[in-house]
Amino acid sequence: MRFRSIVWAACLLVVAESAQACLVPSPVTWTFYNVQFDDGTSLSGSFAYNSYVQYADWNITTAPTELYTGYTYNIQDSYLDDGDGGELILQEAPGSATQLIALYFSAQLPNAGGTVGLSTASFECVLDAGGCVETRYVTGGSVMMADSPTPEPASFVLLSGALIALAKGHHYSRRRLAGRRTSLTLIPMKSVSLWNGPAAWL
């Protein structure tokens, strides 16, 4: 009995860990709205993020000026220099890096969605060997979650099936064990007659 309890506990632990992995939502898309630089140009685009996997994708375009060529930061042509739920710093691909963008959010990006403002400390700059030589700062704007962070439906189906199977197996084992404890073994006995006729009373 104790061994079976240990086995069931181990199975439930595995299912619980699998459930946690299944219920982790996929990264969702955050889109930039009304983002302006202090030189009158704008920024547009989006990125994929949640707190479990951090930044999974990005596609952010800045407009050109006389000092800036403008650039589209995407996952193929730029790399994540630094980033967590409070900031996103991207740089052109190594070997050709001439621009960097640093975006600071007014609050940590929540998994539940909503709108988060961009800090005016956010900037884009032109790089040389010594660092930033020309810088333009963000004057306003925000990011908004464009879709809902829902787990994959298949994860719920697999998890539900595993829990039901475990529950049925455990219930069946308990019934078998209870049946063994309550069943009685009947031993056949010879019938013995207690009646020997009238002479027994004399």
**pLDDT tens digits along 22-78:** 556 678 899 999 999 999 999 999 999 988 878 889 999 999 988 787 899 999 989
Across 63-72, 89-98, 129-138, 177-186, least confident range: 177-186
**What DSSP assignment string belongs to 71-140?**
EEEETTTEEEEEEETTEEEEEEPTTS--EEEEEEBSSPPPTT--EEEBPTT-EEEEEETTEEEEEEEEEE
Q: Mean of the pLDDT values across residues 83-100? A: 81
Domain boundaries defined on the chain:
28-145
Q: Residue 97: what residue type?
A: A
**pLDDT tens digits along 146-190:** 765 554 444 444 445 545 555 555 555 555 555 555 554 555 555
* Global pTM value: 0.62
More confident residue, 22 or 89: 89
